[in-house]
Amino acid sequence: MKIKTKKQLNLPQLIEWGFENDVTGSIVSYDRAEAKRIRFEIGILVSIHGDIHKGDTFTVEVEEEITEDTKLDGLVELGDDGAGEDFFFSRGLSINDCKDECTQAFYILNDDLTMTLIWRDGKLVE
């Protein structure tokens, strides 16, 4: 299963990410400020617009393959211990860290506060 997540990268990390992922025709903005932009074209860094400082970070959306051992932020577990269904929220834990005999499903909490089902019936959802 693959999920999309947002990552904060500094300039060296951003350049490395752009080369490793053959990013083309993309403009990445510094923390959504249009005054600071990086443009990639055909796997190379084409231009930097605005003043970039050492501590500046850039937000990129990445798609990554997950397993039951992948540590995730915003992991939501649905469980039923017989006394009723409960939701549990975890940061930085994996499905394997959290699941037990009462677990029914796992979801990822999205940026827009919706949830995406990623695991049920003992396996990852396709």
Tokens of 85: 């269904």
Contact of 79 with 88, CB cutoff 8 Å = yes
Examine the domain organization and report whether 12 and 50 are in the same domain.
yes
Examine the domain organization and report whether 27 and 77 are in the same domain.
no
Binning pLDDT at 50, 70 and 90, where does residue 112 land? confident
Range of the domain at 94: 72-124
Per residue in 54-79, pLDDT (tens digit) is 778 887 877 888 899 999 888 999 99
pLDDT over 90 at 118, yes or no: yes
Examine the domain organization and report whether 31 and 54 are in the same domain.
yes
pLDDT value, residue 82: 79
pLDDT value, residue 70: 92
Examine the domain organization and report whether 10 and 37 are in the same domain.
yes
pLDDT value, residue 4: 80
Pick the last residue of a domain from 65, 89, 108.
Answer: 65
Alpha carbon distance 43, 16 (integer Å)? 10
Per residue in 13-54, pLDDT (tens digit) is 887 887 787 776 666 665 555 566 677 766 566 667 677 777
Per residue in 94-110, pLDDT (tens digit) is 999 999 888 999 999 88
